[in-house]
Amino acid sequence: MHFRTIEMAYVALFVALSVVSIYLVRILPPVMILGVTVPISLMPMISALAGALLGGRLGVMAMFLYLLLGLVGLPVYAEGTGGFIYIVSPTFGFILGYLLSAYVSAWFVRRKKSLFRFQLGMVVSLLPLYAVGILYMWAILGFYLHKEASLIYIALGMIPYFIKDVAVNLLFAVVAYGVTKRVNLAAPRVG
Query: How does the average pLDDT of the chain come out, rounded?
Result: 93
Q: Read off the pLDDT band of 58 (50, 70, 90).
A: very high
Q: In this model, does residue 161 exceed pLDDT 80?
A: yes
CATH of domain 5-182: 1.10.1760.20
What is the per-residue pLDDT for 164? 98
- Of the two residues 31 and 181, the one the predictor is more confident about is 31
| DSSP string for the chain | ----HHHHHHHHHHHHHHHHHHHHTTTSPPEEETTEEE----HHHHHHHHHHHH-HHHHHHHHHHHHHHHHTT-S-BGGGB-SGGGGGSTTHHHHHHHHHHHHHHHHHHHS---HHHHHHHHHHTHHHHHHHHHHHHHHIIIIIS-----HHHHHHHTHHHHHHHHHHHHHHHHHHHHHHHH-----PPP-
Q: In this model, does residue 186 exceed pLDDT 60?
A: no
What is the per-residue pLDDT for 185? 65
What is the per-residue pLDDT for 187? 47
Q: Read off the pLDDT band of 190 (50, 70, 90).
A: very low
Q: What is the C-alpha separation between 93 and 130, in angstroms, rounded? A: 9
> Residue 32's beta-bridge partner residues?
37
> Residue 38's beta-bridge partner residues?
31
Alpha-carbon distances, residue 26 vs 20, 76, 161 (angstroms):
11, 13, 16
Q: Considering only 22-31, 78-87, 93-102, 181-190, which range has the smallest mean pLDDT?
A: 181-190
Domain ranges for the chain: 5-182
Share of the chain above pLDDT 90, in %: 82
Mean pLDDT of 64-75: 97
Q: In this model, does residue 61 exceed pLDDT 90?
A: yes
Mean pLDDT of 23-37: 93
Write out pLDDT tens, residues 104-152.
Answer: 999 999 888 899 999 999 999 999 999 999 999 999 999 999 999 999 9
